[in-house]
Amino acid sequence: QRKNPFSNGDRLASKPVHTHRGDPTYGRPPEGSQTEQRGKDAHSHVGKEVEELCLIIRSTGEVGEDGHVSVTFGQLFETYVTISNKVVGILLRARKHGLVHFEGEMLWQGKDDDVIITLL
């Protein structure tokens, strides 16, 4: 690129240094970049959707003998789909963070309507 007549020399100087797998900045956008800010904004947005999902489970579900609130996927889907069409993705994120529990890898509308989702 240094010999390319169409290349701007300033761009070369601003390119980040490549990191290696052991480096804590590996796979992360440069600090202070717009990419980093977009990632933080997206993370915050998804966190709010997970919180909202948990509130909906709490308000529509029933308290079981173990004290946990549970709701069927079909009931949750019908309630939550009017708010967001990403209910399955948000459920998976909530399970990843240990907020809900349900059997199976993925939930499908119609097929898994009777699967019980428990708020932890």
Rounded to the nearest integer, the mean pLDDT of the chain is 85
The per-residue pLDDT for range 31-77, each reduced to its tens digit, is 899 999 999 999 999 999 999 999 999 999 999 999 999 999 999 98
User: What is the residue extent of each domain of the chain?
Assistant: 62-119
As given in the structure block, the two tokens for residue 104 are: 């199976």
Q: How far is residue 54's CA from residue 57's CA, in Å, rounded to a whole number?
A: 5
Kindly report the CA angle at 6 between 5 and 7, in degrees rounded to 5? 95
Kindly report the CA angle at 118 between 115 and 120, in degrees rounded to 5? 155
Q: Does domain 62-119 have CATH number 1.10.10.1540?
A: yes
